[in-house]
Amino acid sequence: MLEKLFYTDSSWFFTLLRLVLGLVILPHGLQKLCGWFGGYGFSATLEFFKSEGIPYAIGFLVIVAESFGALGLIFGFFTRLSSFGIAITMIGAAIYVRKNGFFMNWFNQQAGEGFEYHILAIGMAVILMIAGGGQLAVDSWVANRIQSN
């Protein structure tokens, strides 16, 4: 069972996909966790989620997925679990912004951003859940250790 969790395809394509998704999601997580990049930090983010009717537990999981899940992707550690957390977070975010339509707000002509970004992130995460993290992933090293024992 553990072999399936850590096994990864050795393609550089999945490495690139993992790094891009992790590097794009991480700043969003750091906004929520640390208040960096113009974010509000942990407590204020949880309060915002609560004001929007999102329970603290879900807000906490969003922060964990976007920060530690993104770090997991960057290092290729628990790639499938990290991807799953990010996919679920992006599904929730897409549902939350669905009223704004599909497209991002490039020309400031709608109330907020659409969900096209979320769909891209979900697609990338699903691919990584299936294939694993590719080359240079900690998962690959763990899988080799499990097999040799």
pLDDT of residue 106: 82
Q: What is the mean pLDDT of residues 96-100?
A: 89
114 band by pLDDT with thresholds 50, 70 and 90 = confident
SS3 sequence, 29-96? HHHHHHCCCCCCCHHHHHHHHHHCCCCHHHHHHHHHHHHHHHHHHHHCCCHHHHHHHHHHHHHHHHHH
CA-CA distance, 32 to 107, in Å (whole number)? 26
Give the C-alpha separation, 81 to 104, whole Å.
28
Q: Write down the pLDDT at residue 10.
A: 86
State residue 125's pLDDT score.
98
The share of the chain scoring above pLDDT 90, in percent, equals 74
For residue 134, pLDDT over 80 is answered with yes
Higher pLDDT, 86 or 109: 86
